[in-house]
Chain A
Amino acid sequence: MKAYLGLALAGAVTLGGAVTAMSVQAADKAGTPQVAAQHAKGKEVYDYWCATCHGEEARLAGTLALQTKYKGKTPAALALRTDLQPALVEYYVRNGVAWMAPFRKTEVSDADLAAISGYLTAPLEQRGLSAEALALAKGAKK
């Protein structure tokens, strides 16, 4: 399973703009810093499982829901947030909320979940964000 998933994801990153994970597209377009090596796995899993709803595009389901909920008090895209704790990330992944159903261990393993939590709580500069996204996240932080 892992071997295949890894292969598929590598393909997605190579092709950049052709895939739907918007954070991948955004990163490619802006020629941004690479994600820190220790968070590469976390970003990979995040892009695969989370970014399709929680990516930077405003119209995505999770991003739109968090924008509606927080009204800009915190960035709506998860990868731009600096206030997340691993326990919170893990709670929502395994328990779901509103329309987001929980994710099973056959989808997101405990190791993958720890990697996602690590990625979402890493310093912003280590997340491989576009310059634009980084500025947005830092602006929101002030």
Chain B
Amino acid sequence: MAAGPAGISAAVFADGLAEMRSAVGDQWVFTSDEDLHTYRDFYSVLWDEPEERLASAAVAPANVEEVQAIMRVANERGIPVYPISTGRNLGYGGAAPVYSGSLVIDLKRMNRILDVSESNASCLVEPGVSYFDMYRHLKETGSKLWIDVPDPGWGSMVGNALDSGGGYTTAPYRGHFEAQCGIEAVMANGELFRTGMGALPGAETWQQYKMGIGPSLDGLFRQSSLGVVTKMGFWLFPEPEAHLSGSIDVWRFEDLEPLVALMNELEYGNIFNGMPSISSPVLSSGMMFQEIPEPDVLHKMVQDTGKAAWRASMSFYGPEKVIRAQWEYVKERFAQFPGARPNEGQFIKLPLSPEDMEKVSKARFGIPSMEIFAVGSNGAGSFNPSDGHIWFSAIIPRTGKGYIEANRVMRRECARLNIPLFMFSPAVTCWTRSFVLFAAVPVYKDGESNKKLRASVNEIIRICADNGWGEYRCPPAFQDQVMDAYSYNNHMLRRVNESIKDALDPNGIISAGRYGVWPKHLRQGRGK
């Protein structure tokens, strides 16, 4: 059995667990080593080290009342808790707490789909509902609505949104937190809180209007330590008539800046609504995008290989005649680039036929799968699979200059610091208005290599910050450093978060340390 939380006597902890057992039933409180093993962060860069973040116990409530009971028990005793929805955000922390010794509140059993409205194109779900669950529910009921899914489909809709996960369909749905509409959360003292129109008894508009009245408080629960989210509404995408994808190749180094500007204009002007990408056929191989060389070198590579310098890809969801016209318009606009070469991709009538299902990228059609994990199956050629991976995901400017600078700095620094990479993306556009640079780093259950990796990643975080780039999400081991980078006005962001934390969770029991926000009693040593 793991050690109890620091500063909580064994008797108080045991008494708290006994109360929780009577609230949720004996079988839903886990304390054995064997059970707690399944709550470890399987991809942890601290694996088996004294600093590994471990749960002291786990409790799995079945409904809101049980969550409230757990919170009251924990709050009265100062027991630190760490709620997880399904704990499947592998690469960003999994089911393990940020503060070792926390009691994990596992919400997987709360897996009811409470409402799906066809006319409002929305749903209301509990945190245990996975993308697979919702997809199957929509199919089973003959719904014409789509969900937007991240790469792995086993995750929680609620948890992924709260972590700021993203997907692949159209702009209003790709940012999963942005597509939420209405949150219910149990606060530290066990009281129930609803955001937006959920605060108005009898309102039928909880999933229609996010803001309600006064300051918008949904953001309190994003990557936060302020409540246990027990319900969340989402806007869903009415299935379009058809899908069309296309891309246009251009050939000169200097085309990148106007290309990014044009793509921005076309996306923000709703000429295409699918997720765009800007890649480089000549610089990409598999999942790796190499360092962008100087113009003359790039031009020689283009000449030698016949491959384009840049490729702008876009996709369209909508009525066939509309999206074909939009694609024609896009091609006209790209005619400004010398030698611009359009390639029409897939045109697909929806719903997908079984044959089309076999040949499409499922996530672009809101279909959950686990296919992404195949990238780790064969150790990139020789069978030496890693034990997991972590993501490095920095927000960078959506300009040609930002694209080139971030690529060069990251490639050079990762090489200098010997950070192994199995995926390095061009600038990605999960969210409109900014780029995200993704790098995936393999992780092994080996203390020595992890120690080096942690030092290197901390260095990369610092270098990115010096350039004005910050991560939007990261594993627990790096959350303090990433929050540190958001340092404007003597870390005012963190200080405001701490003030809110102290007001809403005065005993500091919820998710201590999550994204660098520590409760008062742990603030000095940041949990150490």
Q: Show the binding face of A for B, using Cβ within 8 Å.
A: 1, 4-5, 7-12, 14-15, 17-20, 25, 48, 52-53, 59-62, 64-65, 68-69, 94-96, 98-99, 101-107
CA A120 to CA B388, docked complex, whole Å: 26
**Residue pair A99, B386 in contact (C-beta under 8 Å):** yes
Task: Pick the residue among B58, B132, B370, B387 that contacts A53 (CB under 8 A).
Answer: B370
Q: How far apart are A123's CB and chain B's nearest CB, in angstroms?
A: 28
Choose among A12, A15, A18, A94 the residue with the greatest number of B CB atoms under 10 Å from its CB: A18
Name the residue on A nearest B91 (C-beta).
Answer: A99
Say whether, besides A64-B377, A102-B38, A4 and B369 are in contact (CB < 8 Å): no
**Residue pair B376, A104 in contact (C-beta under 8 Å):** no
* Residue B147 at the chain A interface, CB threshold 8 Å: no
Name the residue on B nearest A95 (C-beta).
Answer: B37
Contacts of A9 in B (CB 8 A): 136
Q: Among B108-116, B177-185, B255-263, which stretch is in contact with chain A?
A: B108-116
**Residue pair B38, A103 in contact (C-beta under 8 Å):** yes
Task: Pick the residue among B34, B62, B140, B153 that contacts A12 (CB under 8 A).
Answer: B140
CA A5 to CA B129, docked complex, whole Å: 10
**Residue pair A102, B42 in contact (C-beta under 8 Å):** yes
How many residues on chain B are close to A (CB under 8 Å)? Answer: 57
Say whether, besides A52-B132, A104-B95, A11 and B139 are in contact (CB < 8 Å): yes
Contacts of A53 in B (CB 8 A): 370, 373
Q: Show the binding face of B for A, using Cβ within 8 Å.
A: 28, 30, 34-35, 37-40, 42-43, 58, 60, 62, 86-88, 90, 94-95, 106, 108-109, 111-113, 128, 132-133, 135-137, 139-141, 153-154, 354, 357, 362, 367-374, 376-379, 383, 385-389
Task: Pick the residue among B39, B106, B370, B387 that contacts A61 (CB under 8 A).
Answer: B370
**Residue pair B376, A52 in contact (C-beta under 8 Å):** no
Choose among B42, B108, B377, B386 the residue with the greatest number of A CB atoms under 10 Å from its CB: B377
Q: How far apart are B350's CB and chain A's nearest CB, in angstroms?
A: 12
Contacts of B40 in A (CB 8 A): 102
Q: How far apart are B410's CB and chain A's nearest CB, in angstroms?
A: 24
Contacts of B374 in A (CB 8 A): 59-61, 64
Those 10 A-B pairs whose CB atoms lie nearest each other, nearest first: A11-B140, A61-B373, A101-B42, A64-B377, A65-B377, A106-B108, A98-B385, A68-B378, A52-B370, A104-B38
CA A15 to CA B367, docked complex, whole Å: 14
Q: How far apart are A4's CB and chain B's nearest CB, in angstroms?
A: 6
Contacts of A104 in B (CB 8 A): 35, 38-39, 58, 87, 95, 106, 108
CA A94 to CA B378, docked complex, whole Å: 22
Q: How far apart are A141's CB and chain B's nearest CB, in angstroms?
A: 24
Q: How far apart are B372's CB and chain A's nearest CB, in angstroms?
A: 8
**Residue pair B108, A11 in contact (C-beta under 8 Å):** no
Say whether, besides A20-B369, A64-B377, A68-B377, A101 and B136 are in contact (CB < 8 Å): no
**Residue pair B111, A5 in contact (C-beta under 8 Å):** yes
**Residue pair A99, B385 in contact (C-beta under 8 Å):** yes
Contacts A10-B140, A52-B154 given; 6 further ones with Cβ under 8 A?
A1-B62, A4-B133, A12-B136, A12-B140, A61-B371, A102-B37
Name the residue on B nearest A55 (C-beta).
Answer: B370
Q: How far apart are A72's CB and chain B's nearest CB, in angstroms?
A: 13
**Residue pair B38, A94 in contact (C-beta under 8 Å):** yes
Contacts of B133 in A (CB 8 A): 4-5, 8
Contacts of B354 in A (CB 8 A): 17, 25
CA A65 to CA B371, docked complex, whole Å: 12
